[in-house]
Structure 1
Amino acid sequence: MNEKLLMLIKELQSSRKLETYGEEATKQAVVLPILSALGWNPFNPEEVYPEYSVKGRRVDYALRHKGNNKVFIEVKKVNEDLEKHQEQLLDYSFREGVKLAILTNGISWWFYLPLREGSWEQRKFYTIEIYEQDTESIVENFEKFLSKDNVISGRAIEYAESVYKSKQKERLIADTLPKAWEKIITEPDEQLVELLADTTEKLCGYRPDSEAVERFLQNELKIISSRETHTPNIRSLPSQKKQNHQKIYKPTGYVGKSITAFALDGVRYPVKSWKDMLIKVCNLMHLKYPNDFDKVLTLVGRKRPYFSKNPNELRSPERIDDTQIYAETNLSANAIVGITKKVLALFGYSDNALKIETRK
Structure 2
Amino acid sequence: MELQNQLKALADKIEQLKDKIETEESTKHAFVLPFINLLGYDSFNPTEVVPEFTADLGLKKGEKVDYAIFQHQDPILIIECKNWKEDLNIHNSQLFRYFHVTKTRFALLTNGIEYRFYTDLEEANKMDEKPFLEFKITHLKENIIPEIAKFHKSHFDIDKIVDNASSLKYTKEIRKLIHTELNSPTHEFVRLFANQVYSGRLTERVMEDFTDLVRKAFNQTISENVNDRLNAALNKESEKQHEEIEEFEEETSKIITTEEELEAYRIIVAILRRKISSDRIVHRDTQSYFGILLDDNNRKPICRLHLDGTKKYMSLFDRDKNIHREDIETIDDIYNFEKQLLNTIDNYEETKANIE
Give TM-score, length-normalised by structure 1.
Answer: 0.47
TM-score relative to the length of structure 2: 0.47
The one of the two structures with greater contact order (alpha-carbon pairs below 8 A, sep at least 6) is 1
Relative to its length, the structure with more helix (as a share) is 2
Which of these two proteins has the greater Rg computed from alpha carbons? 2
